[in-house]
Amino acid sequence: MTGTSRPTAGERRAVTLSDVAALAGVSPGTASKALNGRGHLRPETRERVAEAAEKLGFHPNEAARSLLSGRTYTVGLITTDSVGRFSLPVLLGAEDALGAGRISVFLCDTRGDSIREQHYVRTLLARRIDGLIVTGRRTDARSPLVLPSPVPVVYAFGPSADERDASVVPDDAGGARLAVEHLLATGRRRVAHVTGPAHHAAATVRAAHAERALSDAGLELAGGRALFGEWSEAWGRAGTHAALRAAPDVDAVFCGSDQIARGAADALREAGRRVPEDIALVGYNNWQVMAAATRPPLTTVDMSLTEVGRTAALRLMEAIDGRPAHGVEVVPSRLVVRDSTVAGQQG
């Protein structure tokens, strides 16, 4: 007797792309694009399809997918941030977006060594990656990668010095303005600024726009200028004492990082100034461990680094799909209000 056998009660029918599409509420074509990292789809659509595929246990044949598309569905992420303070949130955001397209990530840490960087570039290209994301620990513009063979590249956090490249960066200018406008809204008028090294773009941009926001309100920095130093608690203490000497009537201190702000909180306590009753305090970066450990908990600017990574990954997928972006895209920062500026706030 011949014919096609039907699945028995104990057998399960293989999950198909149509099943995934039906569960996600999209067409099979949209589901295919989402899982293949192709097409101009909304991030939430890609995520919904990926969740449906995972729930149903749908696993496309990767070898066949690669042969049909001419892609490996892998990308490289090169970082110079061995500590991971800034690159880790960027990586997590990138992985969220890439995972929705079932794309794997190879992470390489160059430790700031240009020779190591070129070694990793050659190694990744030998693996036939579809593209690269480059990130680091500073927002200063960096030299573009020298590639022996062309693949799409997107720079995240620190932009490429070549304006033709695609870069996704946090909004330091807008973040500084958020901090100052918040202090002004709480009634502060004598705002000091203690920040990092003057040769770091993050420090100079934040200082310039803090000063500009005050100028727009008819005010100037307490003490007449920003105080540049190091990204450290020790400098936060020393810089804050210097700010108090230069302007004894200061009623707010805006710091260029959370580490500096934690040192500033210690200095204010040593000087007998209550936070926020006498002097309000704002940091930058929203480093959760540091902000929560500051007493009182620290109001700070969050650079939305996960969103920077997610956006960079979406731009990379678009470039791989033949729609490259050019220039610098800025991701808005947000203010997280805690007790150091308005008593009774929660982080």
The predicted-structure confidence for 198-212, as pLDDT tens digits, reads as follows 999 999 999 999 999
Choose from 50-64, 80-94, 96-110, 127-141 the range with maximum mean pLDDT. 127-141
Where is 15: in which H helix or E strand? none
Average pLDDT, the chain: 89
pLDDT tens, position by position, 278-305:
999 999 999 999 999 999 999 999 999 9
**pLDDT over 70 percentage in the chain:** 89
Collapsed DSSP state (helix, strand, coil) of residue 133 = strand
Q: Which ranges of 217-322 does DSSP label H, i.e. alpha helix?
A: 233-246, 258-270, 288-293, 305-320
- As a whole number of angstroms, the distance between CA 174 and CA 215 comes to 15
pTM: 0.79
> Which of 89-103, 195-209, 219-233, 325-339 is the least confident region?
89-103
One-letter amino acid identity for 176?
A
Report which of residues 316 and 65 the model is more confident about. Answer: 316
| 67-81, 135-149, 177-191, 288-302, range with the lowest pLDDT | 67-81
DSSP β-ladder status, 252-255 and 280-284: parallel
Q: Which of 129-138, 186-195, 257-266 has the lowest mean pLDDT?
A: 129-138
* pLDDT at 4 > cutoff 50: no
pLDDT single digits (tens) 10-60: 445 677 778 888 999 988 888 877 876 666 788 788 888 888 888 888 766
Query: What does the pLDDT read at residue 61?
Result: 55
Position 40 scores a pLDDT of 73
pLDDT of 5 strictly over 50: no
Q: What is the DSSP letter of 137?
A: S
- Which pLDDT value is given to residue 98? 86
Averaged pLDDT for residues 122-132 = 92
The span from the CA of 281 to the CA of 287, in Å, is: 15
Tell how strand 334-336 and strand 299-302 pair up. Answer: antiparallel
Give the distance from CA 344 to its chain's centroid.
29
Please give the Cα distance from 263 to 265 (Å, whole number): 5
Arithmetic mean of pLDDT, 98-113: 83
Range with lowest mean pLDDT among 33-47, 90-104, 107-121: 33-47
Return d(Cα 129, Cα 71) in angstroms, integer.
Answer: 8
Sequence-distant contacts of 67-73: CB under 8 A, at least 24 apart? 69/36, 69/38, 71/130, 71/320, 72/127, 72/128, 72/129, 72/130, 73/36, 73/37, 73/101, 73/102, 73/103, 73/104, 73/130
Residue 1, pLDDT > 80, answer no
pLDDT on residue 46: 84
Residue 180 has pLDDT above 50, yes or no: yes
DSSP letter string, 266-286: HHHHHTT--TTTT-EEEEES-
pLDDT value for 292: 92
Model confidence at 339: pLDDT above 80: yes
The whole-number pLDDT of residue 47 equals 84
* pLDDT of 220 above 70: yes
The pLDDT tens digits of the residues spanning 150-175 come to 899 999 999 999 999 999 999 999 99
